[in-house]
């Protein structure tokens, strides 16, 4: 068993919630081997990068960040000859052996399927001072079998599937996360109960495509069963990310009317409002079908906040295609839209499609969409003014330590002045009622009713 007594490490995490969760596991694993997490690179003898490769910007950022720590001295008293630099996650999985060639001072490369091997690779690298690269095609363990160090005691990620079988033509994820695998329902339910017993107030079910859960085990999606089982744990707030429109069943939609702890917010990536582009993306639904789902959702619960992902500038996107996306966004009225400019990823089918739309045209489309998204968010938030919302308190606001910040059930940020004589530490992790007085595009503000 590798031993890393008192070795200090810091984590850099990029990308999606799955990566954030992997980082919690990595922290848990390293600490279980005696290492100690620190906040800054100056204090760290080991730097671990948990990387994302979904868009080119993530690659560029990683290269810059790794290069920038090169000349920072080791903390005083360290017995190492140099700081150990480890790269894991999606770029580690994708590039493997090629990484030390691109970044000479990298010591350890691991993938998405073998985070439990990090202490062994580190120990070998420390002993031999050479590069240690190990990237597996397939994992034998689920990361949930590994220790975890939760970033917040009140909130937990709970992976139910890993990997993706969808092969949207622009997306690298199926290549770096592998095929979809579902965990056993009983294990998920047991984890949920254990988290609740440990004081967790909010559970977010995780998977690249959560709502196709169970297809590999039962031949059909059983995501509704997962929602019911986790809801029964009694957790106060239940969320999930990310779901695919083609797998959103009537049964799941109906649960928004019956499960009290299923929070009234749904992230349902649409990617484009043009059927032609959706087909080229291999999304396997039409705009009409997507709108039917939204309508069904709003019939079950008109108060559900909707969010989505949109890619602007997919190869061959015409002005007409973009206009269809713009119209769809306007029509749905999202609370939040994550907008991305298409980024070709080597090895994906879209990377070899003809892409001749000028950069300025794509940027103009992107900017006009961003303006619309902001207007929509502002409008959507107005419905909360005058209402009492329960807010899970996360801490003091970054700008003012007399103001608390947290999230509403709809997943909107809420700020409120800290009540007289109340210490923020007594409120963190608690759910408090807040009366909303003002609504902006990206947050609500009001007063705490009863702390």
Residues near ligand SF4, by CB under 6 A: 164, 166-168, 171, 173-174, 208-209, 244
Strand partners, 86: 48, 108
For ligand 5AD, which residue of 183, 239, 345, 415 counts as binding (CB under 6 A)?
A: 345
Question: What is the CA angle 288-290-294, rounded to 5?
Answer: 115
Task: Say whether 273 sits in a helix, a strand or coil.
Answer: coil
Q: Is 271 in the site for ligand 5AD (CB under 6 A)?
A: yes
Q: Is 342 in the site for ligand 5AD (CB under 6 A)?
A: yes
Closest distance between ligand 5AD and the C-beta of residue 347, in Å? Answer: 11
Stretch touching ligand 5AD by CB under 6 A, among 83-91, 203-211, 256-264, 335-343: 335-343
Distance in Å from the first CA to the final CA of the chain: 48
359 contact partners, CB below 8 Å, separation of at least 6: none
Shortest Å distance, C-beta 409 to ligand SF4: 25
Contact 429, 407 (CB under 8 A): no
* CB 338, min distance to ligand 5AD, A: 7
Q: What's the maximum distance between 2 C-alpha atoms anywhere in the chain?
A: 64
Quote the least distance from Cβ 369 to ligand 5AD, whole Å.
Answer: 13
| Minimum CB distance to ligand 5AD, residue 348 (Å) | 7
- 3-class state of residue 297 by DSSP: helix
Classify burial at 189, counting beta carbons within 10 Å of its beta carbon; exposed 0-12, middle 13-18, buried 19 or more. Answer: middle
- Binding letters toward ligand 5AD, positions 144-183, x by CB under 6 A: --------------------------xx------------
Point out which span in 23-31, 142-150, 192-200, 342-350 binds ligand 5AD (CB under 6 A): 342-350
As a whole number of angstroms, the distance between CA 190 and CA 224 comes to: 17
Between the CA of residue 310 and those of 126, 165, 253, 267, what are the distances in Å?
44, 20, 22, 12
Q: Helix or strand or coil: residue 425? A: helix
**Number of C-beta neighbours around residue 246 at 10 A:** 15
Would you say 160 and 206 are in contact if contact means Cβ atoms under 8 Å apart?
Answer: yes
**How far apart are alpha carbons 409 and 262 in whole angstroms?**
9
Q: Is 290 in the site for ligand 5AD (CB under 6 A)?
A: no
Which residue from 245, 269, 273, 409 is in contact with ligand 5AD, where contact means CB under 6 A? 269
Is there binding between residue 7 and ligand 5AD (CB under 6 A)?
no
DSSP β-ladder status, 403-407 and 413-417: antiparallel
Least distance in Å: CB of 312 to ligand 5AD?
A: 9
Partner from ligand 5AD, ligand SF4, none contacting 309, C-beta within 5 to 8 A by type = ligand 5AD
Q: Which is nearer to ligand 5AD, 31 or 355 (CB)?
A: 355
Q: What secondary structure letter does DSSP report for 351? A: G
d(CA 146, CA 434) in angstroms, rounded, equals 38
Whether 244 and 269 have beta carbons less than 8 Å apart is answered as: yes
CB closer to ligand SF4 out of 166 and 445: 166
Least distance between ligand 5AD and beta carbon 273 (Å)? 13
The answer to whether 62 contacts ligand 5AD (rule: CB under 6 A) is: no
The residue of the chain with the least Cβ separation from ligand 5AD equals 309
Cβ-based nearer residue to ligand 5AD, 28 or 344: 344
Which residue in the set 29, 52, 54, 58 belongs to the binding site for ligand 5AD (CB under 6 A)? 54
Determine contact, residues 31/61, Cβ cutoff 8 Å: no
Interacting residues with ligand 5AD (CB under 6 A): 54-55, 170-171, 269, 271, 309, 311, 340, 342-343, 345
């Amino acid at each position: 068993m590798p031993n890393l007594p008192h070795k200090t490490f810091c984590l850099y995490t990029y990308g999606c919630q799955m990566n954030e969760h992997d980082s919690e596991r990595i922290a848990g694993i390293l600490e279980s081997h005696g290492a100690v997490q620190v906040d800054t690179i100056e204090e760290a003898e080991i730097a671990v990068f948990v990387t994302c490769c979904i868009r080119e910007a993530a690659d560029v950022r990683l290269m810059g960040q790794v290069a920038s720590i090169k000349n920072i001295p080791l903390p005083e008293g360290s017995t190492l000859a140099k700081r150990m630099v480890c790269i894991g996650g999606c770029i580690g999985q994708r590039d493997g052996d090629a990484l030390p060639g691109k970044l000479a001072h990298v010591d350890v490369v691991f993938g998405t399927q073998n985070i439990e091997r990090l202490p062994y690779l580190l120990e070998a690298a420390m002993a031999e001072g050479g590069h240690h690269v190990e990237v597996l095609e397939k994992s034998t363990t689920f990361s949930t079998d590994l220790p975890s160090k939760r970033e917040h005691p009140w909130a937990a990620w709970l992976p139910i599937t890993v990997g993706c079988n969808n092969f949207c033509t622009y997306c690298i994820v199926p290549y770096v996360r592998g095929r979809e695998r579902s965990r056993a329902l009983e294990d998920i339910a047991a984890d949920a109960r254990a988290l609740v017993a440990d004081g967790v107030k909010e559970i977010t079910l995780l998977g690249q495509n959560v709502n196709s859960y169970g297809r590999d085990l039962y031949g059909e999606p059983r995501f509704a069963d997962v929602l019911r089982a986790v809801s029964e744990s009694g957790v106060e707030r239940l969320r999930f990310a990310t779901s695919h429109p083609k797998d959103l069943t009537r049964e799941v939609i109906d649960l928004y009317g019956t499960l009290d702890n299923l929070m009234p917010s749904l992230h349902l990536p649409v990617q484009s409002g043009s059927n032609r582009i959706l087909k080229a993306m291999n999304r396997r639904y039409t705009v009409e079908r997507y709108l039917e789902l939204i309508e069904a959702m709003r019939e079950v619960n008109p108060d559900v906040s909707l969010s989505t992902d949109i890619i602007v500038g997919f190869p061959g996107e015409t002005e007409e295609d973009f206009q269809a996306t713009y119209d769809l966004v306007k029509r749905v009225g999202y609370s939040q839209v994550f907008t991305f400019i298409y980024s070709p990823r080597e090895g994906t089918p879209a990377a070899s499609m003809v892409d001749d739309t000028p950069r300025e045209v794509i940027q103009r489309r992107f900017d006009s969409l961003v303006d619309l998204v902001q207007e929509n968010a502002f409008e959507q938030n107005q419905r909360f003014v005058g209402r009492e919302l329960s807010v899970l308190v996360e801490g003091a606001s970054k700008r003012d330590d007399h103001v608390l910040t947290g999230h509403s059930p709809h997943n909107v940020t809420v700020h409120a002045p800290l009540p007289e004589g109340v210490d923020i530490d007594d409120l963190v992790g608690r759910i408090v009622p807040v009366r909303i007085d003002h609504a902006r595009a990206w947050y609500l503000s009001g007063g705490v009713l009863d702390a």
